[in-house]
Amino acid sequence: MSFNHYQFHKGVDVYQDVFEDVEKTLSILKKSEDQGSPLFGKWDKWYDFGSILRIPKIDDCDTEECKVYKELHKIFIDVCKDYIERNNHTDFFNSNKWQVTEPSVCKYFPDAGVGYGGLAMDYHTDYQNEFEGEPGWKYGFTATMYLNDDYGGGEVDFYDGKNVISFKPKAGDVTVFPSGSPDIDPTNRYMHGVFLAKDNPKYFVRMHYQYWKDGSEEYNKGLEKYGQESWSNMLKSEYTEIRNKFHKANGPSHLTERIVK
């Protein structure tokens, strides 16, 4: 695959000209939203700000929907391979067990979201810090494929611990960045927030590389002592506290300088 590439900010790379026809890809996905699709499944509510299509694993076939599914996977694999090599993550990648998540097509409704500060989604990491001690698949790298740009707003802000760097995606852009795992970059958790879309919906596809991580000694001792259900219930309030503390400690404040590139 040939593409244009530039580094938007340290660790956040942008790939362009990777879709054969991004408008056609979007039209096929929107058709599944309007008419339903036995292959793609149904669109679900996505919190309070949009809807989401979680595409299941699809066996080989020759429909236009299958071609879109294959295209999204190929784009993801190709740009992530380049990103991992370009940003010197090859050793970490080769030393871990990985899986690719299936594509999720996301739609932001106009003017829908948390609202405060003009945000549709507050600053967060895809890597869920509160679950760090649990065994399981952890988010390693995130790829976001933007399908349209006929809306106002919709900027994505990345916080690097000092400044907020604002990115306005164009249709066909693909961003790749670490999902926030401290195993990949302990100095930058790649917190990002999304601004409200205006006038029209905003469509994009997200996919991830996930790596396997064994549970911590503390978690496994609790699991052995209390059992899965009781231990999970005991940890719920602790997880909420960990998440809130993490976001408060690592997110930007209202005084943080916002740089628009």
Q: pTM of the entire structure?
A: 0.94
Token couple for 184: 């990949």
Spatial distance between the Cα atoms of 98 and 31, rounded to a whole number of angstroms: 32
Going residue by residue through the chain, which has 261 residues, state the pLDDT in tens, using 9 for 90 and above. Answer: 778 999 999 999 999 999 999 999 999 999 999 998 999 999 999 999 999 999 999 998 889 999 999 999 999 999 999 999 999 999 999 999 999 999 999 999 999 998 788 999 999 999 999 999 999 999 999 999 999 999 999 999 999 999 999 999 999 999 999 999 999 999 999 999 999 999 999 999 999 999 999 999 999 999 999 999 999 999 999 999 999 999 888 999 888 989 988
Spatial distance between the Cα atoms of 153 and 120, rounded to a whole number of angstroms: 10
Of 63, 81, 61, whose CA–CA distance to 18 is shortest?
81
Token couple for 164: 């907020």
Of 25, 180, 168, 31, whose CA–CA distance to 103 is shortest?
25
Spatial distance between the Cα atoms of 236 and 218, rounded to a whole number of angstroms: 16
